[in-house]
Amino acid sequence: MEKIQLHDKVFRHFISNEELEKAIDQVAARINEDYADSPTPPVFLCVLNGAIMFTAAMMKRVNFPAKVVSIKMSSYTGTKSTGTVLNVMGLTGSVKGERVIIFEDVVDTGNTIVALKEMLLDKGAADVRICTMLFKPDVYSKDEKIDYVGKSIPNDFIVGYGLDYDELGRNLKDIYVLDK
């Protein structure tokens, strides 16, 4: 589909599923290399709801055991970031003493990811790495290193492959961008 409508907005095709899958393969290869000799299984932290598809895709590609926990955070209303990070649902498991890889759908300003990493370290995580499917370097303003990036994109509002516009569009296998 070249264009789709969600609520009152029209989105045009932006990134194909094939391109996303290749990017995810490359990130998985790096993670497999980095964790090949891990003495303990790392914890994959899925940031709900947007990173569900990305986390699931990564879980199918790693060749080592991993634990999975989730958290739900929010900083968006409609198509705009509020600038405030809300912890909507707490961690579904302990991270004390664990090596954690945060799986995020998209990192833009970095507010959510920095708050989340600080929280995990406060809860006793031994190590925290950040993995994002999509990264918006033009608006990222934090010093925190993003360890694994699937694909860098411009600062446009996107939906699909887990990303939504007011809860619609997550199920799309491709990524669509707001058609201005």
CB of 79 within 8 A of CB of 159? no
Asked if the bond preceding 32 is cis, omega within 30° of 0, the reply is no
CA distance 138 to 58: 26
Task: State the burial class of residue 3 (Cβ atoms within 10 Å of its Cβ: 0-12, 13-18, 19+).
Answer: exposed
Catalytic residue among 8, 25, 37, 108: 108
For 4, 168, 176, the CA distances from 160, given in Å and listed in that order, are: 11, 9, 6
143 is catalytic: no
- 5 forms beta bridges with 10
- 104 forms beta bridges with 132
Residues tagged active-site: 108
